Amino acid sequence: MKGARLEILTPRLSAVLDKCKISDRDAVHLLTACVEASSLNPLNYVINRTSIRLSRQRFRELNASRIKQNFFDLNLKFLTIHWDSKILLDITGKTKVDRLPIIATVPNTEQLPGVPELSAGTGYEVSSAVYDSLEDWSLLHKVQAFVFDTTASNTGRLNGACVLLEHKLGRDILYLACRHHVFLNYSPKCIRWV
């Protein structure tokens, strides 16, 4: 008897499993039941937890790569970086972690380069997380402005994230401090008049 050879997982099916928060183990049961309901032999299909996990990881990586390439293909000349740390439940839902959503915007376009976990909410940690995300997306030379809340970890004159990021980038950046966490989109004209 030969082993199963038919792949059942597609990028769309993988995305649906992710969206519905279906574990790899539960996916095995669901896919097996679907194949049987279609009057097909489940033994002909690759349906096991390891194969499903590896396929889902591969599809996620391909999707992330495609999103990054599409954003890169926009050939943007400048962008604004927004960040604001949030304490959220971790993936297990049992403990809380400090996450830093980082958003890159230009008029009519926005992208989420990352939501790294912070070990501490210091200016150094925030600046390192933002810098690493920008470097990963090849956006370091396009940053013209920062939007952030007015906590000391962001605005400190010596160890604030903004000052540290400016030093890492090697140039002055426009600060758009926001006390009410307003999400700003702006045109190049706004940069000159602020």
Q: What is the pLDDT of residues 66-89, one digit of tens each?
A: 999 999 999 999 999 999 988 888
pLDDT of residue 91: 74
H or E, element range at 144: strand 143-148
pLDDT of residue 3: 64
Q: Which amino acid is at 20?
A: C
pLDDT of residue 180: 57
- Name the residue with tokens 């032999």: 41
pLDDT tens digit sequence for 127-181: 999 999 999 999 999 999 999 988 889 989 899 999 999 999 999 999 998 765 4
pLDDT tens digit sequence for 44-71: 999 999 999 999 999 999 999 999 999 9
d(CA 36, CA 42) in angstroms, rounded, equals 6
pTM of the model: 0.76
